Structure 1
Amino acid sequence: MKVTIIGAGAIGGTIGARMHRAGHDVLLCDADAAHVAAINDDGLHIEGPVEEFTAHVPAVAPDDLPDTIEHAIVAVKSLHTASAAALLEGRLASDGFVLTVQNGLTADTLQAAVGADRVVSSFVNFGADYLGPGRILQGNVATFRIGEIGGGPITPRVGLLADSLPYALPTENVLGYLWGKEAYGAMLWAGAVSDLTIADSLSLPPYRALMMAVAQEAIDQAPVPVESFDGFVPDDLDGSLDRLAAFNRKSAKARSGIYRDLMVRKRKTEVDEVHKDIQGPVFDRIVAMIHDIEEGRRTCEVANLEELAEFAASR
């Protein structure tokens, strides 16, 4: 494939490096000038227990994108989807298409920019972190599914993408996987208000009822059957907690990207975008708490998780 990846951070960088090494024609695009410079000077370094290698893949800033993009993969945080869509509008080749590998339900914004029939969606669950300019940690290998947004039979472009991207398999129900991630992600949002690891926040007894309650809020809003993955089973949330904890203990990524945004990178999270998809009293309370942390009124600590657990128990 000839593909431009918009967002060369944790997920986009991992995908781009692996596609480039497999022989695909890859161009990375990122708004972080230091990251772009480091990639062009020394390559993109993939680190961690899965494999360590360096991909000498070209990278550009948004202002330096070519006038025509054959195919694109969007890997920016969901709150930056509109900016990514604006970069693609008018640039996508007449027979080109866009794959979103983002969290949340972002396809409509991309469809508005490039056309409803030119966007493919995916579910990505392998763990990765941006460590610094030119450096990405890949913490594990996990489920990666690609499918048409409307569901149905596997199309040639979905097959092409599944063959080209690392770990990817095609699916006829990509939205089911995305809603499964919304439910799992809701638990990660809850855990991120503390300083516990993902595994501990999921498995410790005082917080299990909270985790199941917020996951169920998401599942109840899903318009399609919710799919299982990596230990998550929508009709067995209690058992899912133990399986997901075991899955996360095997990863070099101990804490979520949400926690890193709040406490390491000190930047705004995707919570408002996710809140557009999930509503409910427990998740609403989590969103308010995330806002408090973003704005300096709280810090990430176990006391927040205890407060959430008490609130969920009172429902």
Structure 2
Amino acid sequence: MKIAVVGAGAMGSILGARFARGGHDTVLVDVVAPLVETINADGVTVVRGEEETTTRVPATTDPASVGAVDLVVFFTKCYHTAAAAESARPLVGPDTVVASLQNGWGNGDVLAGVYPEEQIVVGVTYNSGLVQAPARVVHPADQPTIVGSFADGQADDARPARLAEALADGGLEVSVAAPVRPEIWKKLILNAATLPTAALTGMHAGALTAHAPMHDLVSDTAREAVGVARGLGYDIDAQERVDSIHALLEKAGPSKASMLQDFEAGRKTEIDVINGAVVRAADEQGIEVPLNRAFVQLVKGWESLRGLE
């Protein structure tokens, strides 16, 4: 397939390299010209432990120079999704699969405001990455990815399978779910419980679960979010989520959460589509979520102090 990955940050670079190594004609699209120049000059280097793999992947700032592709995967920050979707129009033809594996809740809705919803595939990936330098990314370990149709109920839709095939060709673990929204909420619950806690304390993943008070805070925040998901009709078990979250944190060890990376880099966070999404859904149902609401307020305060609103 001809594939474009929009956003050449940590996860975009990792996926772009995997698609290319899987034999697909892949291009990275990013608005940052110096990053694009570095990728074109040096390739994308992915670090895992003591091993480094460099993959040559062409990059561009101009989607029109690429033309329509078979698959577009968006991996920008959530607050760039709308602009990225508009600029990516030259990449999308009537048969193009338009996919988002971004963090949070609502990216699919943004894409559906630009493209026909029947072309859109959404999902979650439990893979993580850390940018060490431009075009140099740490990918600690392979983790599952789950994809499905944005228009839930399309169990026979071939589009998620096309994305899954490309991910599998790159050696990634992937499955197709119908409906996929419960899976997105499961990841949202994980992020709501772990991202702001890590960012506001500076703790890496393993420390969050090893430190007893933080272990309890993560669990309580997750249980709040599960209550909201269940109110929306998603059959998610609270204890399963809590146990799974702590198992993932322990396995991730010294990995830094994406929001902690945002804090350290002085960047705007994705709190609006993570704990903010939990709060909005809770308000619609009249459910109290004091922990998730407090995290939104705390992170927004941090952003305000730095002029990032």
Please say if residues 6 and 73 of structure 2, whose CA atoms lie closer than 8 Å, have aligned partners that are also in contact.
yes
Kindly report the root-mean-square deviation, in angstroms, between the aligned alpha carbons of the 2 structures: 2.2
CA contact 2:223–2:242 (8 Å) conserved in 1? no
1:81 — aligned with what?
Answer: 81
What TM-score comes out, normalization by structure 1 length? Answer: 0.84
**Selected match of 1:160 from 138, 159, 162:** 162
Change (3 A) 1:238 1:116: closer
Distance in 1 (alpha carbons) for counterparts of 2:159 and 2:91: 19
Deviations 1:288-312 (A, max 9, x none): 1112323448xxxxxxxxxxxxxxx
Distance 1:26 1:50 in 2: 26
- The question of whether the paired residues in 1 share the 8 Å contact of 2:2 and 2:71 is answered with yes
Contact 2:209 2:250 (8 Å CA) reproduced: no
Instruction: Look up the match of 1:57.
Output: 57
Distance 1:98 1:3, change over 3 A: same
CA–CA distance in structure 2, aligned partners of residues 58 and 257 of structure 1: 25
Question: C-alpha separation between the residues in 2 aligned to 1:235 and 1:65?
Answer: 49
Report the TM-score, using the length of structure 2 for normalisation: 0.86
In the TM superposition, residue 54 of structure 1 has moved relative to its aligned partner by 1.0
What whole-Å deviation, never above 9, does each CA across 1:226-277 have from its counterpart, x for those lacking one?
56xxxxx63345534542332222xxx52111101111x2111111232442
* Residue in 2 that maps onto 1:185: 191
Of stretches 67-76 and 95-104 in structure 1, the one that deviates more from structure 2 is: 67-76
1:71 is displaced (CA, Å) by 2.4
Greater Cα shift, 144-153 or 16-25: 144-153
Is 2:144 the counterpart of 1:137? Answer: no
Residue in structure 1 matching 2:219, options 212, 221, 238: 212
Deviations 1:157-184 (A, max 9, x none): 2222212113222222321111011111
Q: For 1:5, what is the secondary structure of its paired residue?
A: strand
Matched residue type, 1:163: E
Structure 1 runs of 4+ aligned residues shifted over 4 Å read 62-65
Q: 1:19 to 1:183 in 2, by over 3 A?
A: same
Among candidates 272, 283, 286, match of residue 295 of structure 2:
286
Equivalent in the alignment of 2:123:
122
Q: Which runs of 5+ in 1 are unaligned?
A: 228-232, 298-315
Question: How far did 1:8 drift?
Answer: 1.2
Q: Does 1:169 align with 2:175?
A: yes
Aligned AA (2:221): V
Q: In the alignment, is the contact (CA less than 8 A) between 1:151 and 1:174 conserved in 2?
A: no
The DSSP-based 3-state class of the residue aligned with 1:221 is helix
State the match for 1:245 in structure 2: 249
| C-alpha separation in 1, matches of 2:173 and 2:233 | 24
User: d(CA) in 2 for partners of 1:125 and 1:170?
Assistant: 14
Q: Who is 2:102 aligned against?
A: 102
The residue that corresponds to 1:305 in the other structure is none
In structure 2, C-alpha distance between the alignment counterparts of 1:95 and 1:39, rounded to whole Å? 28
Conserved? CA contact 1:183–1:218, under 8 Å: yes
Amino acid at match of 1:161: L
Q: SS in structure 2 opposite 1:96?
A: strand
* Percent identity of paired positions between Structure 1 and Structure 2: 25
Deviation at 1:45, TM superposition (A): 0.8
Q: Which residue of 2 aligns with 1:309?
A: none
For the Cα contact (< 8 Å) 2:262–2:268, is it kept in 1?
A: yes
Q: How does 1:13-52 map onto structure 2 within 5 Å?
A: 13-49=13-49, 52=52
CA distance in 2 between counterparts of 1:29 and 1:12 reads 9
What letter is aligned with 2:73?
I
Contact 2:63–2:91 under 8 Å retained in 1 = no
- What secondary structure, in the 3-state scheme, does the structure 2 residue paired with 1:113 have? coil
Which region of structure 1 is more displaced relative to structure 2, 288-297 or 178-187? 288-297
Assess, with a 3 A threshold, how the Cα gap between structure 1 residues 226 and 89 changes in structure 2: closer, same or farther. farther
Q: Residues 152 and 118 from structure 1, CA distance in 2 versus in 1: closer, same or farther, beyond 3 angstroms?
A: closer
